[in-house]
Amino acid sequence: MIWLAAPAVLAALYHLIALIAALRFKSVRLKQEGTLPPVSILKPVHGRDRQFYDAIRSHALLDYPEFEILFGLNDPGDAAREDIARLAAEFPKRAIRMVPCERVLPNGKVAVLAELARQARYPLLVVNDSDIVVASDYLRTVIEPLEAKENGLVTCLYRARGATWPARWEALGIATDFAPSVLVARFIGVSEFALGSTMAVRAADLERIGGFEAVGDYLADDYQLGRRIRELGYRIVLAPTVVETRLSDETWRQVWRHQLRWARTIRVSRTGGYFGYVITNATVWAILAVVSGGWPVALVCLALRIVAGVATGALVLGDLDTARHWFLIPFRDLWGFAVWAAGLVGSTVEWRGRTLRLDRAGRITGG
């Protein structure tokens, strides 16, 4: 049964690469040179939570010479309107607009983005989710790479904050499982995807792929947008900045449904990567290594897993909760394996209060 230890060796190698990738990413520095062209920030909005105003206010405080913030709403009675009006009143010198959106696409968020892109004044577009909190140098950091003609899209990592234990559990997975997978993918040359936390593109390149409408049938619009920009021959760049999001899930059931939606969406969008994930689950393979008598392999595997997770979460993302709760990482791995197994079957996901059905390409076919 010694062969059961072999996958643990591969998992250990993966987490060693994750550690190296994290350290390399942390060493990246911006040139802080060049021009700063005007930018349109596109923010699709669907409701608000307790931290919504803090998130949008961080955009009004950006240290950047010229930009506008467009908030798109497809519901005239959206509670977020009050906070957006408050922001415009607090920062009267900022170009802040609320844009009503009546377009209809299977992916409602993309329908809003399509209208926002149509009304944007400037040639550079930055898209991020409505709950994203940014640092004052955020725009400078994500726009600078677009000065190079070979770069077509800039994205960035994010850390998550949660007020409840289920939300903190999900945040731990983002910091120690998801973020390392992004860094490893880029380390080995897999870079056709973008993250919804930030997508900075040239408006002209967006038009070349057919606009946001080209990805309006897909749930994983960020991945599809990145793939299409990559197919134009451009590079997708991971900016050396980290934004923050607030998780609103309050129950374990909500977290499970959220992560199952994520798993099924990845399975139909990046099937190879989805099945490859199983070999990265160090805890599962360490347990099997112990069963086969491979204690040394199991210990090395788990040690690398925890060190790489803490390095990514605490050092790269600046998430100190990762350092505090590092001992929970193996248990989070087992949860992640259960989500992965559940994601192997099924074609429906719950999103924004709707049950959607996905086809094998990730298109929304019903709901």
Q: Does 363 map to a domain?
A: no
Query: Which residue, of 230, 250, 270, is where some domain finishes?
Result: 250
Check residue 4 and give its pLDDT. 66
**242 & 271 share domain:** no
300 and 319 in a single domain? The answer is: yes
* Confidence (pLDDT) at 193: 86
Same domain, 84 and 183: yes
Residue 365 domain flag: no
Whether 364 is in a domain gets the answer no
Please check whether residues 293 and 188 belong to one and the same domain. Answer: no
**pTM to 2 decimals?**
0.93
Q: Extract the tokens encoding 185.
A: 């993918």
Q: Which domain holds residue 149?
A: 35-250
73 domain-assigned = yes
Whether residues 316 and 279 fall in one domain: yes
For each successive 10 residues of the chain (367 residues), what is the average pLDDT? Answer: 76 96 84 81 90 95 97 91 96 96 90 96 96 95 94 96 92 97 92 92 97 94 95 95 88 92 90 88 93 90 97 95 95 96 90 82 83
DSSP, res 176: I
CA-closest candidate to residue 299, choices 313, 284, 289:
289
Q: Which residue, 216, 250, 284, sits at the end of a domain?
A: 250
Q: Which two tokens stand for residue 46?
A: 């669907």
Residue 307 CA from chain centroid, whole number: 22
Q: Kindly state whether residues 85 and 148 are assigned to the same domain.
A: yes
Question: Which of 202, 218, 221 lies closest to 146, judged by CA?
Answer: 202
SS3 assignment, position 71: strand
Q: Which helix (H) or strand (E) holds 312?
A: none
Choose one of 202, 229, 250: the last residue of a domain. Answer: 250
- State residue 30's pLDDT score: 64
Task: For residues 173 and 118, state if they share a domain.
Answer: yes
Whether residue 39 is contained in a domain is answered as yes
Which CATH number belongs to the domain containing residue 143 in this structure?
3.90.550.10
The answer to whether position 130 is within a domain reads: yes
Query: Rounded to the nearest 5°, which phi and psi values hold at 286?
Result: -65, -40
Q: Assess whether 159 and 141 both reside in one domain.
A: yes
Does residue 83 sit in the same domain as residue 120? yes
Domain shared by 69 and 212, yes or no: yes
Predicted local distance difference test score (pLDDT) of residue 174: 97
175 closest CA partner among 163, 191, 158: 158
* Per-residue model confidence (pLDDT) at position 199: 97
Residues 119 and 195 in one domain: yes
Same domain? 221 vs 78 = yes
Q: How many domains are contained in the chain?
A: 2
Torsion of CA 61, 63, 66, 69, to 10 degrees: -30
